[in-house]
Structure 1
Amino acid sequence: MHVRSYPAILYFGTPVVIVSTKNPNGTDNLAPISSIFWLGWRCIIGIGASSQTAKNLLREKEAVLNLPSASEVKAVNFLAKTTGTNPVPQSKVLKGYRFEEDKFEIAGLTRLPSETVKALRVKECPVHMEVVVKAVHNLAGDDRVQQGKIKTFELKINRVFLDKSILMDHDPNRIDPDKWKPLIMSFQEFYTVGKKIHQSTLAEISESLYHSNDRKPDQEEYQ
């Protein structure tokens, strides 16, 4: 039987992403988020407008999306209640956040240079996506209390780096879902995926049919 319910959050299960951006003073900011989805080589993220990540995205128009696997959960936890904004916004003070300038250091993560953006990649994450901002929208513009507090960013993916451990054998352009164990956030708790439970009819469709014009046509491996 279903009952009427009013959950405070609706995080039914989405991947965790560590967003890397550049601060105004040139230091590096890392922020774990889980409000994200992809279509082709574009994605949408949602983030609080007062966050340092949002400010950096608005200013620099670029970032790196680093996807941790289940193995990086401790590092994500170290970052979870930190902010690059100083002083800490009151809304985050109430939730126990603290200011940290060097988030790579506190999380024990390693910097890697990017190829198309200034923001750095996180070596330990199996997936890196260099992105640029293509559009910004305010969420809940119809609500005077909420308007301006959350922004959604449309990001175009410029470059993808994948750890060989999660690739299909002999195919550098396909991820093996049996090898990839993403870190999942569900109602503020961490999970990952298990064994495949059933054959999917969508898997009968060749991945090549989902080709997007945003993929790099100038590089032979993306043809």
Structure 2
Amino acid sequence: MHVVPGLKVLYFGTPVVLISSLNEDGTANLAPMSSAWWLGQSCMLGLGNNAQTTANLLREGECVLNLPSSAMVDAVDRLALTTGKPAVPDRKAQQGYRYEPDKFAAGRLTEQASDLVRAPRVAECPIQLECKVVSAHPFGGTTQNATATATAIEVEVLRAHVEEGLVIPGTHYVDPLGWDPLIMKFCEFFGGGHNIHLSKLAEGWNMPHPQRSPAV
């Protein structure tokens, strides 16, 4: 039997991406997100209009999509309630967000120079995709509020860096058995089909998950 609960969140599960970009002063920003999908050599990113990353991508026209494995969940969670925007939007402040000018240090991650774009890669991520922005589209308005709350940004992957052990020998394909991406499902962290870490983001959004527990 199906029920109609009137879902508040449609966030069924997508891979986590750490987007590295450049701030206006040339410093690096790093932001976790999980509203992304790929097709061919392109990717579509869904980003809130108040995010520093959105402003950076629209201004600079480039970024790196760093894909963390499930083993990197601690680093991602350390970045969960941070923003590179000095003036923290009221809604984010209420959820517990704080301004963090050095995201790489906050996540205890390492900057690695890219080949084709100015934004740095995350050295610890097994997969790193250097990208250029192709187009941007308003997204997220409702019938009650026609003003878009987000932007759908299309990027083209210029170069993919993949940890050698994840590539099937003699091919140009990633081994699906060896690659264990970090998945965010309804604001909770999953790897290998299991809830693997408590989520600060879930707490900030007051997600009702009474059975949430840390990995054993």
Q: TM-score range by the shorter chain?
A: 0.7 to 0.9
Partner of 2:68: 68
Unpaired segments ≥5 residues, structure 2: 194-216
Partner of 1:219: none
Partner of 1:81: 81
Partner of 2:17: 17
Q: Which amino acid aligns with 2:31?
A: A
CA distance in 2, matches of 1:144, 1:62: 33
Structure 1 residue 143 displacement after superposition: 3.9
Deviations 1:66-90, CA, capped at 9 Å, x for gaps: 0000111000000010000011011
Q: Which amino acid aligns with 1:179?
A: G
Of structures 1 and 2, the larger Rg is shown by: 1
CA distance in 2, matches of 1:82, 1:146: 28
Structure 1 residue 95 displacement after superposition: 1.1
Matched ranges for 1:50-129 at <5 A: 50-129=50-129
3-state DSSP class of the match of 1:191?
A: strand
Structure 1 residue 164 displacement after superposition: 1.0
Q: Which amino acid aligns with 1:31?
A: A
Structure 1 residue 146 displacement after superposition: 5.4
| Kept in 1: contact 2:141–2:149 (CA 8 A) | no
Deviations 1:152-179, CA, capped at 9 Å, x for gaps: 00100000000012111333x1100010
Partner of 2:188: 189
CA distance in 2, matches of 1:144, 1:5: 20
3-state DSSP class of the match of 1:137?
A: strand
3-state DSSP class of the match of 1:106?
A: helix
Q: Which amino acid aligns with 1:90?
A: D
Deviations 1:9-49, CA, capped at 9 Å, x for gaps: 11111000000000001111000000000000001010101
Partner of 2:208: none
CA distance in 2, matches of 1:162, 1:181: 13
| Kept in 1: contact 2:49–2:151 (CA 8 A) | yes
CA distance in 1, matches of 2:146, 2:84: 23
Give the TM-score normalised by the residue count of structure 1. 0.83
CA-based RMSD: 1.3
Label 1:146 to 1:111 Cα distance change in 2 as closer, same or farther (>3 A): farther
- Of stretches 130-139 and 140-149 in structure 1, the one that deviates more from structure 2 is 140-149
Partner of 1:220: none
Q: Which amino acid aligns with 1:97?
A: Y
CA distance in 2, matches of 1:117, 1:91: 32
CA distance in 1, matches of 2:5, 2:49: 28
Structure 1 residue 142 displacement after superposition: 5.8
Structure 1 residue 147 displacement after superposition: 1.9
CA distance in 1, matches of 2:135, 2:94: 31
CA distance in 2, matches of 1:125, 1:78: 15
How many residues are aligned here?
193
- Of stretches 52-61 and 2-11 in structure 1, the one that deviates more from structure 2 is 2-11
Unpaired segments ≥5 residues, structure 1: 195-223
